[in-house]
């Protein structure tokens, strides 16, 4: 704790608790989480139930995720860590302690300005040293305290600990990244992938989860139906081999968006990482890998359910299991375990049940009715009179480390795309008076899956991805506009392979995935929008330039359009591989005219669309 002593914090907390009107009225979600935590502290009976700990944990994590920039963001993660540590003290399951460590790590990483960030690291280090028998990991946290929070009031303690644990300091040749979240214990083994990140986006019709891996790895997809006997939800799980797990990912990721409850990880055996998605109901799911960096994309679609509080088994003791393996004896005596293999997490088995005395029925019903507050919807401007369009996402293809195609004279596609996208955004704002969001407004790398996810997240009405074409044949030139569908010819496959950054064979695999996703995409509107844009570009550029060739509207399996819930197109304005068109693409005038033509097309599309709708 920096600047405030622990004693002061206790006094502040007491004040907050004794003067409930102050904080309570202004922040009911926080008050509710705190109340739940306090009640749990007072009830030894409740403490025997994993579901009770989980219930409190979820409230703090969700509070943080809904207020990640709020004044209590750090405190929420700190309390989540304390809840996990508290659960460990009862369960003595090493994995619970690891989860607490991961939560404290996350606090320091996500909220470095919080006055609790260093305290969290200290608690994490203490658990690692005394409970988890991982002094090397503890040493790293103590070091992080002294480096990041040198003026904090636990810095002295951390410095003393560093001396005491000196023999566990990373050796110079292995040290390299002492600042890293974890020291990558066995990731050095060649061919072993490390699961380094779990990201997700909740969208109206589907949820996208991305698993980030350090290198390509094999994975299997498995589905388990709900198990009413064990009170388990339907689960989708992935076994990745050979792989290791970043300890930071040991804490479950709470999603709770009506489709997906949460994502959790485990290491069922050495070299195998398991990722489990607890679903709300059975829906469709699509899984595909993307390269560079290697990652696994999981799209779960279905009707969102106004979710009942059913994260955990109800308070009733489950009846004796029939034909299913008995719950594993996870409430066991404390056994300090050496990393990186804490407590293999069996599956299916989200939470050890201590088989407590059954709670009164009324209590259970109250829990089940305790509904989850939905996340606030994104703010969407009112429909404008001009077009009925409220928000358009313009996507400048490629960026950062991915230059896209490069012309014979060195013009880079990523720069051209960004220039046109920026101009297009300006024109759209001008002519349609609607909100325009750029997926990137600078030379940064943005994974393909994130681009449509942004469009879905901000509730866009249209998604337009700007690109420049390329072909091995340097004579090829012209304009073409794509929408998402099965490719009709080999050229479309080649273009999709290039834009996806995949092989032609992988495009074939993608088409299989596409088959099921089609129902959700706006293919008809997308084809109309593509036709408007293509027509406008050919006409407007044809008025000013010689040899403008119309290659027509085409369809193909583009990753960047996959999962878009609004009409979406990909525009190939000209061939950067063609000397004349490369020169044009590089000129401000051509960029300007292209942007004007596309904006005009969007306006025409919107007007005719509105016209159709109002008939
Ligand atoms: Zn491109």
Distance in Å, CA 109 to ligand 1 centroid: 34
Distance, CA of 255 to CA of 58 (rounded, Å)? 10
Distance in Å, CA 397 to ligand 1 centroid: 5
- What is the per-residue DSSP string for 19-82? -HHHHHHH-HHHHHHHHHHHHHHH-HHHHT-HHHHHHHHHHHHHHHHH-TTSTTHHHHHHHHHH
Distance in Å, CA 467 to ligand 1 centroid: 4
Contact yes or no for 264/278 (Cβ under 8 A): yes
Distance in Å, CA 606 to ligand 1 centroid: 26
At residue 291, the pLDDT reads 76
Distances (CA, A) of 325 to 229, 314, 349: 11, 19, 10
Distance, CA of 448 to CA of 203 (rounded, Å)? 16
Distance in Å, CA 396 to ligand 1 centroid: 9
Distance in Å, CA 404 to ligand 1 centroid: 5
What confidence tens digit (pLDDT) does each residue in 489-541 have? Answer: 778 888 888 888 877 777 777 776 666 555 556 888 999 999 999 999 999 99
Q: Can you say whether residue 609 is alpha, beta or left, with left for phi > 0 and alpha for psi between -120 and 50 degrees? A: alpha
Distance in Å, CA 411 to ligand 1 centroid: 13
Residue 177 DSSP label? -
Distance in Å, CA 487 to ligand 1 centroid: 17
Distance in Å, CA 591 to ligand 1 centroid: 15
Distance, CA of 403 to CA of 400 (rounded, Å)? 7
11, 361, 344, 339: which is closest to 182 by C-alpha?
Answer: 339
Distance in Å, CA 443 to ligand 1 centroid: 14
Distance in Å, CA 455 to ligand 1 centroid: 18
At residue 11, the pLDDT reads 52
Q: Which two tokens stand for residue 5?
A: 């002593």
Distance in Å, CA 527 to ligand 1 centroid: 19
At residue 171, the pLDDT reads 62
Contact yes or no for 153/187 (Cβ under 8 A): no
Distance, CA of 116 to CA of 121 (rounded, Å)? 9
At residue 387, the pLDDT reads 58
pTM over 0.85: no
Q: Which two tokens stand for residue 149?
A: 């929070």
At residue 409, the pLDDT reads 96
Contact yes or no for 388/380 (Cβ under 8 A): no
Distance in Å, CA 440 to ligand 1 centroid: 14
Q: In 337-412, which ranges are E strands?
A: 391-396
Distance in Å, CA 206 to ligand 1 centroid: 26
Residue numbers in the chain where pLDDT is lower than 50: 13-24, 172-189, 307-385, 611-615
At residue 20, the pLDDT reads 40
Distance in Å, CA 296 to ligand 1 centroid: 21
Distance in Å, CA 468 to ligand 1 centroid: 6
At residue 399, the pLDDT reads 94
Distance in Å, CA 469 to ligand 1 centroid: 7
Query: Across all residues in the chain, what is the average pLDDT?
Result: 78
């Amino acid at each position: 704790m920096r600047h405030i002593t622990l004693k002061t914090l206790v006094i502040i907390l007491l004040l907050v608790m004794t003067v409930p009107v102050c904080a309570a009225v202004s922040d009911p979600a926080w008050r509710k989480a705190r109340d739940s935590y306090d009640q749990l502290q007072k009830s030894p009976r409740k403490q025997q139930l994993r579901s009770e700990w989980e219930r409190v944990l979820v409230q703090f994590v969700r509070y943080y995720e809904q207020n990640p920039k709020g004044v209590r963001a750090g405190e929420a993660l700190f309390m989540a860590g304390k809840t996990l540590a508290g659960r460990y003290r009862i369960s003595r399951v090493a994995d619970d302690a690891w989860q607490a460590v991961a939560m404290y790590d996350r606090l320091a990483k996500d909220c470095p300005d919080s006055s609790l960030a260093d305290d969290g690291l200290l608690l994490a280090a203490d658990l690692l040293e005394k409970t988890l028998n991982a002094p090397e990991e503890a040493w790293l946290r103590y070091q992080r305290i002294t480096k990041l929070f040198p003026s904090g009031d636990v810095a002295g303690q951390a410095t003393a600990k560093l001396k005491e644990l000196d023999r566990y300091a990373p050796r110079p040749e292995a040290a390299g990244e002492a600042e890293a979240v974890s020291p990558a214990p066995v990731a050095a083994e060649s061919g072993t992938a490390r699961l380094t990140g779990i990201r997700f986006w909740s969208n109206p019709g589907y949820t996208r989860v991305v698993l980030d891996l350090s290198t390509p790895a094999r994975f299997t997809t498995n589905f388990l139906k709900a198990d009413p006997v064990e009170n388990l939800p339907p689960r989708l799980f992935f076994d990745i081999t050979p792989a290791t797990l970043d300890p930071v990912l040991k804490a479950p990721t709470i999603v709770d968006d009506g489709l997906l409850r949460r994502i959790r990880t485990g290491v069922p055996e050495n070299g195998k990482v398991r990722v489990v998605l607890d679903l709300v109901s059975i829906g469709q799911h699509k899984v595909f890998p993307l390269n560079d960096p290697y990652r696994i994309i999981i799209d779960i679609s279905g009707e969102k359910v106004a979710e009942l509080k059913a994260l955990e088994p109800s308070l009733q003791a489950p009846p004796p299991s029939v034909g299913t393996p008995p719950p594993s004896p996870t409430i066991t005596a404390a056994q300090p375990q050496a990393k990186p293999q804490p407590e293999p997490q069996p599956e299916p088995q989200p939470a050890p049940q201590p088989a407590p005395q059954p709670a009164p029925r009324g209590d259970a019903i109250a829990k089940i009715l305790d509904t989850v507050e939905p996340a606030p919807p994104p703010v969407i401007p009112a429909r404008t009179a001009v077009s009925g369009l409220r928000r358009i996402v313009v996507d400048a293809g490629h960026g950062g480390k991915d230059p896209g195609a490069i012309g014979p004279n060195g013009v880079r596609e990523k720069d051209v795309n960004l220039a046109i996208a920026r101009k297009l955004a300006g024109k759209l704002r001008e002519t349609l008076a609607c909100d325009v969001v750029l997926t990137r407004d600078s030379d940064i790398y943005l994974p393909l899956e994130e681009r449509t996810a942004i469009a879905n997240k901000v509730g866009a009405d249209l998604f337009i991805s700007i690109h420049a074409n390329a072909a091995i044949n340097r004579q090829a030139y012209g304009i073409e506009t794509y929408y998402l569908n099965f490719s009709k010819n080999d050229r479309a496959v080649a273009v999709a392979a290039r834009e996806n950054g995949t092989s032609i064979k992988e495009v074939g695999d993608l088409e299989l995935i596409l088959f099921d996703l089609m129902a959700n995409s706006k293919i008809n509107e997308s084809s109309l929008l593509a036709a408007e844009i293509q027509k406008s570009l050919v006409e407007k550029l044809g008025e000013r330039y010689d040899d403008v060739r119309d290659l027509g509207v085409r369809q193909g399996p583009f990753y960047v359009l996959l999962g878009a819930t609004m009409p979406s197109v990909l525009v190939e304005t000209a061939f950067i591989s063609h000397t004349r068109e490369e020169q044009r693409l590089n000129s401000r005038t051509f960029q300007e005219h292209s942007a004007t033509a596309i904006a005009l097309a969007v306006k025409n599309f919107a007007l005719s669309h509105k016209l159709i709708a109002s008939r």
